[in-house]
Amino acid sequence: MTEQAVSAGAAASGTRGGAWPDRLLLIAILLFVFVLGAFVGGCALHDPDTCWLLTMGNWIVGHHRLPAADPYSWTYPLVGGGQPPVVYQWLGEVIFSLAYRAAGLTGLLYLAAFALTLSFLIIPLARLRAAGAGDLPAALLVVTGVIAASFHFLARPEIFSYFLLSVWLALIAAMEGCPPAGARDGAAGRRPAPSRWGSAGLRLPAAFFVLAILWANLHTGFVVGLIALALYVVLRHFEALSGIGGPPPVTVWLCLGAVALGTLVNPYGVGLWQYLPRLFFVPFNARIVELRPLSAADFAGFTFYPYLLAAAGAVWLVLAARRAAGPAKAGWFPAVVLAAAIVSGLACRRLIPFSVLLMLHAVAVASARAARGRAAPAGATGRLYNPSSIPFAATCLALGLGGVYLVASQVAPPRLPSASAAFQPPLAAISRLVSMSEPGRLLNDPQFGDVMIWSMSPLVPVFIDSRYDMYGSALVGDYLTMTECRPGWRQLVDRWRIGLVFLPPGAPLVEQLGRDRHWAEVYRDRLAVILRKKGR
């Protein structure tokens, strides 16, 4: 029997022997994707932030420009110094608006399911298969990661960051295949075959440049991508100095420079970078629950246990790949990225979805380094379960969208915002506000402001909404002083000339003004109270 016949027989045998495991794994993944779509269809509109995101997108599309002044608040003209607001995720808001105009709120859910399925399931599974990771461990890790990140699967521009980060990390991994400048192939002294990105190594920097432009206009998560790329460049040089692998190609520096330039291609130029501290490093962020670190109290429920399980699985797989590769091939990049990803998720719960993608990347790189130079197992290609194939990706996307359709059309028609255990929109109170004539200057709860911006017509201009960065620390501080009745609150109410208060029933200010003879309660239910200053 010829060598080719033996190889063909072994491959066929491997394929037949793995048919049932492949079939079961394929069915399980496809069922999971459908459930994921149904979950997105039922939960992605829970966040009140989507209200102002979609409304702002509608404004930009309708006016064909970015706003020169905030259209929704009466306070920003007083605190903004005459400067237009920095709409730093304008392109994401425009895409939201276009999806809404095409298919209503269901279109927004389709968009979210499409991006999330690609980001957390299709791309990672394909990368892990290409890296030589085992199908079953890879699938278990990806599914656990999806569950861990799902608490933040919301219709927000983060969905674009998740998708771009998945593609971004795949490009970082591709840089390992770029030959170093001037490298020679063994004793024969030949140059290695040019990379598929081009012998000059310019296609990869060009790809990063284009992605950086898109990302900088879609969402500030581009900072995560820049940090990941910079970390790769630094660690790649450290590995080279330690005798691990060859010297890094010039391409890595070209990519880093291309990204830095790409982030400046936005309506605000370098002003976008100057604005980022208002987003990331202000004191009131400590009051935002999703920006807080995980604590022991968070593990009283189920929500964050999958994250710990995913982290443990990623650590186990990276260590196993490191043992298989040996220190000379394993390097330090996968381990450092994995550690940084886990720590960032523990330090800020909003970063957990980004952390999951970075953990999957670390496993993929570690597996690829361990598999380098090792023959592919018989029957590894062309099997029934093939996450690298286009039919698999298309089927997953179709099932994810099908899950959205089932929930949106048959179970729970989409509403914005959808009521949840964390927040119930005070729609009846907002209807009462609409009926009031000359309501006066309003002091409102930020999330109530979000809902007003979306659902109120005509709009009573809000004091504040959840765009805290736009309003600034001083106004947020005044809001907290008034609503929590801190020392000086009465003077601030007078200084801002507040004539109407719209807050939850438990707010200290509601209790104080309820006993004040100068104020009258005009509406109350279990969600909200409206108080009006007499004589207004």
pLDDT tens sequence across 52-67: 999 999 999 999 999 9
Mean pLDDT of the chain: 89
Q: pLDDT for 145-194, tens place per residue?
A: 999 999 999 999 999 999 999 999 999 998 876 544 334 334 333 434 44
Is the pLDDT confidence value at 2 over 80? Answer: no
Residues 156, 126 share a domain: yes
- The whole-model pTM stands at 0.91
Query: For residues 220 and 89, what is the distance between their CA atoms, to the nearest angstrom?
Result: 7
Query: For residues 351 and 483, what is the distance between their CA atoms, to the nearest angstrom?
Result: 30
Tokens 């930020």 correspond to: 446
In the chain, DSSP finds a helix count (H) and a strand count (E) of 23, 4
Residues 319, 213 share a domain: yes
Residues 264, 374 share a domain: yes
Helix (H) / strand (E) element for 531: namely: strand 529-533
The last residue of one of the domains, among 351, 380, 409, is 409
Q: Are 408 and 41 contacting, i.e. CB atoms less than 8 angstroms apart?
A: yes
Residues 300, 232 share a domain: yes
Query: For residues 485 and 478, what is the distance between their CA atoms, to the nearest angstrom?
Result: 10
Any domain includes 15: no
Residues 443, 337 share a domain: no
Give 464-530 as a 3 state SS string: CCCCHHHHCHHHHHHHHHHHCCCCCHHHHHHHCCCCEEEECCCCHHHHHHHCCCCEEEEEECCCCEE
Q: 92-106, 118-132, 177-191, 476-490 — which is least confidently predicted?
A: 177-191
Range of the domain at 525: 427-533
Any domain includes 460: yes
Is the pLDDT confidence value at 239 over 60? Answer: yes
Is the pLDDT confidence value at 287 over 80? Answer: yes
Q: How many domains are contained in the chain?
A: 2
Residues 496, 402 share a domain: no
Residues 451, 306 share a domain: no
What mean pLDDT do residues 384-393 have? Answer: 92
Which percentage of the chain shows pLDDT scores above 90?
Answer: 74
Any domain includes 245: yes
Q: Tokens for 468, please give them.
A: 């805290």
Any domain includes 7: no
Any domain includes 11: no
What region, left, alpha or beta, does residue 456 occupy, with left being phi > 0 and alpha being psi -120 to 50 degrees? beta
3-class DSSP state for residue 282?
coil
Q: Are 201 and 251 contacting, i.e. CB atoms less than 8 angstroms apart?
A: yes
pLDDT of 18 reads 55
Residues 205, 311 share a domain: yes
Residues 447, 374 share a domain: no
Any domain includes 422: no
Any domain includes 86: yes
Residues 443, 403 share a domain: no
Q: Are 509 and 485 contacting, i.e. CB atoms less than 8 angstroms apart?
A: yes
Residues 146, 71 share a domain: yes
Any domain includes 153: yes
Residues 400, 298 share a domain: yes
Q: Are 159 and 149 contacting, i.e. CB atoms less than 8 angstroms apart?
A: no
* Cα–Cα nearest to 357, from 142, 533, 136: 142
